[in-house]
Amino acid sequence: MTLSSLIRGKRYVACVIPHTHWDRAWYWPFELFRLSLCKMTRRLLEILETDPRFRFTFDGQTVVLEDHLALFPEDRERLAALITAKRLTVGPFYIQPDNTLVTGESLIRNGIIGRRIADSFGRSSRQGMAPDPFGIVSQVPQIWHGLELESIIFSRGISKEAIARLGTVFRWKGADGASEVLGIYQPGFYANSYYWGIPMGEYPRADADTDQVDLAFSVTQTKALVAEHEKHRMTSRVLYFGNGVDHFPAQHTTPDILAHNAKACPDIRFVLTDTDGMVALMKQETTRRATHTGELRMHESGNLLPGTLDSRPYLKQQYNAAAEMLEKRFEPLQAWCHAAGLTRREMREAHHVAYAFNVGNNRTIPEEVMERSRDYLWKLLLKNAPHDDICGCSRDATHEDAENRAKRVLETGRNLAMDCLLKLARSIAPVVDARSQVVVFNPLPTARSALIRLRAYVPAPSTALKLVDHQGSEVPCVLDARVAAESNRLFHSEDFITVPGKRIEVDARFVAALPAFGYASFSWVDGVVSAPERQVTVLPNGMRNAAVEVRINSDGSFDLIDLATEHRYRGLNRLRDRGDLGDLYVTVVAADGEAVAQPGSAAIELHESLPFAVVYKVTVTLPGVPTGLDESR
C-alpha cells in the first residue's frame, strides 16, 4: 500500500482504525471488566472470521490476550491466526501505563514483555499507542526508540501553541538528544470516530454492534472530523479516524459505512487499517517536519487531571517499594549469582523463617524457577501501572486488588532476593577464628557508606567480642552484648544443631564502606571492642558533621547548612495540611482550609547520640485540622 497510489486525485487519506481502549480496571474491578472483555472478544473473533474486510486493534496492550485466554484457552489458535494474518493488531506493550508515576524500568519492561507476548502470537505492532496517559515524560521517545518502536500516537498533553509550532505529526527526540520517534497527535481525541453512523441518543448509549446505522449521519461525522483536523496545523495528509473508545466493542458495520463515505466524500481515500498501516503511509510523505524535545504535559488537548498525583498516595508508595525490590535487590543479586555460577546455599539464619522456607539439602531455588518468577512478578507489578490503578481515581475494590498485587510482589521478591543472598554469603570465607560472619551487600551501581544496625546471636564463650573486616582489621562499632543462653542451638541448613559456646545476643551499630555492586565481609572474633571516634557533634536542637550542619526550628522544620558552600536551606520538612474540596481526579484547595505548623508547636527531644549518628524525635501539633468537609465527606 503506497501513499502515492492512494493520494492520487485526493485531498486526504483517512485511516479508519477500529479499536478499543481497554481499561483493565476502573469503575469496576478487574474481574467484572474481564467478563465484558471476554464477551467483546468472542464477538470480535466471530466478526473477523466472517468478514474478511474487517480489522481490529487492541490499543497497544497484550495483557488482554492473557485475561481472555484464562477463561477461554481454546481461543488461542484463533487469535494467533488473525494476528499473524494482520487482521488483529496487538502490542507492543503489556499494559497501558501511566508515564509519570511509575519507574523508567517499568516502561522498559512493559515494552519487552508486551512484544514477547505479541510475537508469540505471530506479530507485534511497532507503534507506541498511548491514547490516554495524563501527559508524556521526556524520556519516553528515548525508551521507545530503544524498544524499536517507530511512533508515539497520543491525545493528551500538547498545547495549541505546540501544535501550531510542531504540527499534528512531528519528530520527537528523546532526552538523550539522539533517539527519535514520530509524534502523532490525534485531533478530536483517540475516540474521534466512535459510534460512526450510530446516533448515541440518550443514556445509555446505543449498542455499537448494531445493524441499525444512519449513513447520512456518518457523513456528517466525517466532515466534522475532517474540519477538526483542519483546525490544526496539518503536517500530514494522512488522517487518524479512531473508530473506538473505552471498552468499545467491534462495530461490525464499519466496512459498509466506510464504503458509503468513500462515495459521499470523493476527495478522500478511506482505508481500513491499523496503526502500523497509518504510520507506514506517514513515513512515505516528504513533508519536512519540526522537531520537539522534552515532555508534553499541557492541558489544552485534554485534561491531565493533576489531582490524581496525590490521590491515594499509598498506592504510589507501594508501587515504588515493589519496583525497588525487583530493580535494586532481586534482579541484581540474581544476575550476580548467575554470573558467579552459584547453585548452593546454607541456611544459617536464627529466625524461624529459615526453617519454614528451607527447600532441603541446602538446595537453592532452581534458576528456571527464578526466571519464571521474575517475569511473573514484573507482570504482576505492571498490572498496577495503568492510570486508573496507580492514579488512585477508581473504586475501592479496584485499588484493593492493586494493594494485594503489590504485597505479593514484595513478599515473593524479598524471598527470592534472600535466596540469592544466602548463595552469595556461602561463597565468602570468614577470617580465621571467626565466631560468626556478617556480609553486607550493596546491589546499587554506586559505592556508598551505610550505617548498619545488626541484631543477631553469636556462638561465643563470653560477651567479649569485636568486629573485624575481611583483612582482620578492627571495625569500630557501638556494641551491646549479653548472654542469652548458656548453650547455643541454631537452625543450620536442614536441622537444629548445637554449636559450642554460649548464645550471645549482640546489638551493634557500625559504618560499612560498600563498593558499587559489591559487598563487605565482617566477622565477630574474641576481643574487646574499641569505641569509634566521634564524627558528629551534638548541638542545641541540632548536629554537625564534616559536611553539613542541621538546626531544628521550633515549628518542627529544620535548616540545612552546606559547610562547603555555607549555603543555608531554610524551613525544610515544615508540616502543612491543606483542605481539599475536590474528588479523586481534581484537587480544589479550600481558601481557608490550610493548617501550618506554628513556631513553638514542636516538642524536640534528643533520642539517641552515637559517635557517627544523632537522632532527634520531633513531635508537631497542627492547629485546627478539620475532620472532614461535611457530614458525608
Q: What is the pLDDT of residues 394-408, one digit of tens each?
A: 999 999 999 999 999
Encode 108-123: b = buried (16+ Cβ within 10 Å), e = exposed.
ebbbbbbbebbeebbb
Pairing state of beta strands 448-460 and 238-243? unpaired
Most confident of 197-201, 238-242, 293-297: 238-242
Is the omega angle on the peptide bond into residue 92 within 30 degrees of 0, that is, cis? Answer: yes
Q: How many CA atoms lie within 13 A of 84 on its CB side?
A: 9
Q: Kindly tell me if the per-residue pLDDT of 1 is higher than 80.
A: no
Residues 107 and 190 both lie in one domain = yes
Are 168 and 260 in a shared domain? yes
**Residues 6 or more apart whose Cβ sits within 8 Å of residue 137:** 99, 100, 295, 297
pTM assigned to the model: 0.91
Which string of b and e fits 128-157 if b means at least 16 CB within 10 Å? bbbbbbbbbbbbbbbbbbebebbbbbbbbb
Q: What are the backbone angles phi and psi of residue 382, rounded to the nearest 5°? A: -65, -25
pLDDT value, residue 298: 87
Pairing of strands 169-173, 291-293: parallel
Structure confidence by residue, pLDDT tens digits, 63-114: 999 999 999 999 999 999 999 999 999 999 999 999 999 999 999 999 999 9
Same domain, residue pair 477 and 420: no
Q: Say which CATH number the domain at 367 has.
A: 1.20.1270.50
- Out of 296-305, 311-320, 453-462, 595-604, which region has the weakest mean confidence (pLDDT)? 296-305
| pLDDT value at residue 495 | 65
Least reliable range by pLDDT among 248-252, 463-467, 529-533:
529-533
pLDDT at 576: 86
| pLDDT confidence bin for 623, thresholds 50/70/90 | confident
On whether residue 628 sits in a domain, the answer given is: no
In SS3 terms, 196-263 reads as CCCCCCCCCCCCCCCCCCCHHHHHHHHHHHHHHHHCCCCCCCEEEEEECCECCCCCCCHHHHHHHHHH
| pLDDT above 50 (res 356) | no
For residue 491, list its beta bridge partners. 496
Q: What are phi and psi of 454, to 5 degrees?
A: -125, 120
pLDDT bucket at 514, cuts 50 / 70 / 90: very high
The reported pLDDT for the residue numbered 492 is: 62
- Return phi, psi of residue 229, to 5°: -60, -45
pLDDT value at position 27?
Answer: 94
Tell me the three state secondary structure of residue 387.
helix
- Please indicate whether residue 355 or residue 621 has the higher confidence score (pLDDT): 621
The string of pLDDT tens digits covering residues 150-161 is 999 999 999 999
- Quote the pLDDT of residue 367: 84
Amino acid letter for position 29 = P
**Average pLDDT for the chain:** 92
Q: Which of 483, 504, 526 is the last residue of a domain?
A: 526
**Which of 374, 402, 426 is the last residue in one of the domains?**
426
The count of domains in the chain is 4
What is the C-alpha to C-alpha distance for residues 12 and 3, in angstroms, rounded to an integer?
10
CB-hemisphere CA count at 13 Å for 493? 10
User: Which range among 298-312, 322-336, 395-409, 595-609 shows the weakest confidence by mean pLDDT?
Assistant: 298-312
CB of 271 closer than 8 Å to CB of 277: yes
pLDDT given at position 203: 45
pLDDT value of position 362 = 54
d(CA 341, CA 401): 38
- Please tell me whether residues 259 and 219 are part of one structural domain: yes
Residue 185 pLDDT exceeds 80: yes
| Cis amide leading into 133 (omega within 30) | no
The amino acid at residue 595 is: A
Give the model confidence (pLDDT) of 218-261 as tens digits.
999 999 999 999 999 999 999 999 999 999 999 999 999 999 99
Among the ranges given (502-516, 552-566, 584-598), the one the predictor scored with the smallest mean pLDDT: 584-598
Domain boundary (507, 526, 545) is at 526
485: β partners: 503
Amino acid symbol at 599? P
Q: Is residue 633 part of a domain?
A: no
Alpha-carbon gap, residue 618 to 620, rounded angstroms: 7
40 in any annotated domain:
yes
What is the four-CA torsion angle of 426, 431, 435, 437, rounded to 10 degrees? -40
Q: Which are the contacts of 147, defined by CB distance < 8 A and separation ≥ 6?
A: 92, 108, 111, 112, 115
In terms of domains, do 375 and 281 share one? Answer: no
Amino acid letter, 20: T
Q: What pLDDT, on the 0 to 100 scale, is given for residue 3? A: 95
Same domain, yes or no: 357 and 275: no
Inside any domain, residue 629: no
pLDDT of residue 491: 63
* 433/351 Cα distance (integer angstroms): 24
Whether 330 is in a domain gets the answer: yes
Residue-level pLDDT at 585: 87
Q: Which phi and psi angles does 390 have, rounded to 5°?
A: -70, -25
Residue 321's domain comprises 309-426
Same domain as 496, residue 387:
no
- CA nearest neighbour of 16 among 273, 249, 280: 273
pLDDT at position 351, please? 46
Mean pLDDT of 160-184: 95
State whether 584 and 520 are in the same domain: no
414 in the same domain as 267: no
Residue 228 inside a domain? The answer is yes
Is 139 part of any domain?
yes
Q: Which residue has the cell 564534616?
A: 546
Both 269 and 171 in one domain: the answer is yes
- pLDDT for 355: 44
Same domain, residue pair 366 and 494:
no
Torsion of the alpha carbons at 33, 39, 43 and 49, rounded to the nearest 10: 90
pLDDT over 90, % of the chain: 76
Torsion, CA 533, CA 536, CA 538, CA 541, rounded to 10: -160
Res. 350: pLDDT tops 50: no
Q: Is residue 531 part of a domain?
A: no
User: The domain spanning residue 470 has which CATH number?
Assistant: 2.60.40.2210
Instruction: With a cut of 60, say whether residue 357 has pLDDT above it.
Output: no
CA atoms within 13 A on the CB side of 4: 2
- Decide if pLDDT at 496 tops 80: no
Residue percentage of the chain with pLDDT more than 70: 95
Q: Which of 110-114, 346-350, 447-451 has the lowest mean pLDDT?
A: 346-350
Q: Say whether pLDDT at 353 is over 50.
A: no
Q: Does 520 share its domain with 542?
A: no
The domain spanning residue 228 has which CATH number?
Answer: 3.20.110.10
